[in-house]
Amino acid sequence: MVLKIIDVVRLLEQQYGNSDWWPAETQFEVAVGAILTQRTSWRNAKLAIEALREKKMLTPRELLNTSCAEIEKVIRPSGFYKQKANYLIEFASYVELKYGGDISSMSRRSPEVLRQELIQLRGIGPETADAILLYALAFPSFVVDAYTTRVLRRLGLNAGETYDAIKANFESALGNDHARLANAHALMVVHCQKRCRPSPICVGCIFTDLCISKTE
Ligand code: SF4
């Protein structure tokens, strides 16, 4: 059987159902989380988000009214806090100046235009831009992260050679279904956290019969 993206996603859905991934209270908080989780675990990013919430620094205006040094101190648990403080300030300025501080108004623009705008900001690459589009703004923009590429590689499924090719192939396989794309990405994360870890737990894995990398 030649494994396809849709087969992988169906098996993940059968196994794990709907994931409650990326719980957040506001769209801006989701975007802040997408920046803070770069190069660290979600657990560390969450600690930083909780600290920002406690200090009432989770709106563009509140962040811009806070000194960079104070933001660095508060987001320290996320690691790379000096760079990330600057990234947050740049993103908050963008939302404030271009969208009047209201991230929801970004939804009126096309995802293609927004993606280009986001990628031009410091600290926002394709993966972070897609996480903001998918989870904060509910656009059908698949996120290709290290978890997804790990599962694909281990399964021996060639879904494309580049970030954009893999993203396009997932979007083509799952259609313009934002919720399904978001869940598919979330389930890749869940699967890698539960089983397909750096040292995988293959016994009992849903992919055992299909995976070229399974271990005993
Ligand atoms: S069989 Fe093992 S390596 Fe393959 S997807 Fe499952 S956990 Fe990962």
Say what the pLDDT of residue 73 is: 98
Taking residues 195-211, report their average pLDDT.
96
Among candidate residues 50, 208, 27, the one with its CA nearest the CA of residue 132 = 27
Does pLDDT of 2 surpass 90?
no
H helix count then E strand count, the chain: 11, 0
Q: pLDDT per residue over 11-35, tens digit each? A: 999 999 988 777 788 999 999 999 9
Does pLDDT of 50 surpass 80?
yes
Ligand 1 centroid to Cα of residue 149, in Å, is 13
Locate the domains of the chain by residue range.
27-136
Pocket test for ligand 1, best of 16, 150, 192, 214 (most atoms within 8 A of CB): 214
200 lines ligand 1 (CB under 6 A): yes
Hunting for tokens 């801006």 — which residue is that? 28
Say what the pLDDT of residue 24 is: 81
Ligand 1 centroid to Cα of residue 15, in Å, is 14
Q: What percent of the chain has pLDDT over 70?
A: 100
CA distances from 211 to 18, 70, 115 (A): 23, 48, 34
Residues 187, 19 contacting (CB under 8 angstroms): yes
Check whether domain 27-136 has CATH 2.40.100.10, yes or no: no
Q: pLDDT per residue over 108-152, tens digit each? A: 999 999 999 999 999 999 999 999 999 999 999 999 999 999 999
Pocket test for ligand 1, best of 16, 155, 187, 201 (most atoms within 8 A of CB): 155
CA distances from 98 to 54, 102, 110 (A): 27, 9, 15
Ligand 1 centroid to Cα of residue 96, in Å, is 44
Q: Which residues contact 115 (CB under 8 A, 6 or more apart)?
A: 126, 129, 130, 133, 141
111 lines ligand 1 (CB under 6 A): no
207 lines ligand 1 (CB under 6 A): yes
Q: pLDDT per residue over 51-93, tens digit each? A: 999 999 999 999 999 999 999 999 999 999 999 999 999 999 9
Say what the pLDDT of residue 53 is: 95
